A and B are shown apart, each in its own frame.
Chain A
Amino acid sequence: MVLEKVVEILRNYKDEQDLEVTMASTFEELELDSLDTVELVMEIEEAFDTSIEMDGELQTIGDVVTLIEKAIA
């Protein structure tokens, strides 16, 4: 369950345990700027012991989840 883990990381990152996150949530809605996005993606990568390409535009949490799922498949 990649999404669940990502949500947990996100909640810890923002220190907001009841933060509502869905696949469609955008980084912007979650008040995460481009620097936060880099930090967060690296934390997520470390948690899954994998790496994803950050070349394209990562807009939503779903974008990250999909890439992680592909990377660990």
Chain B
Amino acid sequence: MIKTPLCDLLNIEFPILQGGMAWISDAQLAAAVSNAGGLGIISSMNADENWLRSEIQKAKSLTDKPFGVNVMLMNPHVDKIAQVLIDEKVPVVTTGAGNPGKFMKLWIEAGIKVIPVVPSTGLARFSERAGATAVIAEGGESGGHVGEMSTMPLIPQVCDVVSIPVIAAGGIGDGRGIAAALMLGAVGVQLGTRFLVAHETNIHENYKDKIIKAKDIDTTLSGRSLGHPVRSLKTTFSKDFIKAESDPTTPPEVLEEYGRGALRIAAQEGDSQKGCFMAGQIAGMIKEKQSVKEIILTLADETETVLKGGLQWVK
């Protein structure tokens, strides 16, 4: 049994969070993860407050366990989204793509546990000071929008500068990764890519098949020149995008337009010509589609085995 202080803090059985992935993490996936003992998270992506409210209510109808919502701070509807979270008494909010400072006080006063995703020690310290319950330190091995630091150096350095719990993310796909994250000082983990292939995940089957087929070297970074690099599977789309990006005559707005909607196309239509299949570097480790419950129980079992096995090196 793997139990850390994060379990009591978030009222969950296993210290495993499911990352909020735009167009992927809906009420069904979040509820399945929470029912299996982890913390499911709905992604509010660029959606408006009405969509989010109905997803939250759907998740409540599917689970009586706590779940969270990820807020993308660049969402044009973010002010209304922030209020819906309070109205619906969402217990946990994770934030990405910006500085949640503006909403922190409001959410904390409403009793919401705020857990920002941070790519550096500075933002981790800043989050702690602003009243964050914990931080998710995410390395650039993860899928989607990534930072520069990788998980191995990021986690211990973040742990050294904050006294709130640290949750590790990026490059974690099995019990070995979870055990390693705990050894680096984290008290929990957030996984995204591993849940892409869950039966409960509402994405096109092509997306899941591509993850299963992926090898270690099959992800790539694009969008560096736009200031927000994205990790995705190598596909016709990503190759074309990188080619256009490396051509200095391509205006940035043309690139932005090219990338717009590409994740939705991947998730809903499974089209590798036009879709951007975001995935982390651990995609190569995923070999089978499983239910969320199987995934979480396997992760917990593996972690326990690895942690116990580690003692063999202590003489």
Contact = CB atoms under 8 A, between A and B. Distances in A.
B122 A35 contact: yes
A42 B101 contact: no
A38 B98 CA distance: 11
Interface stretch (A4-12, A14-22, A50-58, A61-69): A50-58
Q: Is the interface of B mostly helix, strand, loop or mixed?
A: helix
B102 A55 contact: yes
B47 interface: no
B123 interface: yes
A26 B92 CA distance: 36
A29 interface: no
A55 B79 CA distance: 13
Contact of B123 (A35, A51, A53, A55): A35
A51 B101 CA distance: 13
Contacts of A39: 120, 122
Contact of A42 (B99, B102, B125, B147): B125
A55 B101 contact: yes
A54 B99 contact: yes
Given A51-B129, A54-B126, A35 B119 contact: yes
Contacts of B147: 35
Interface string A33-51: 0010011001000000001
Interface of A: 35, 38-39, 42, 51, 53-55
13 contacts: A35-B119, A35-B122, A35-B123, A38-B99, A38-B120, A39-B120, A39-B122, A42-B122, A51-B129, A54-B101, A55-B99, A55-B101, A55-B102
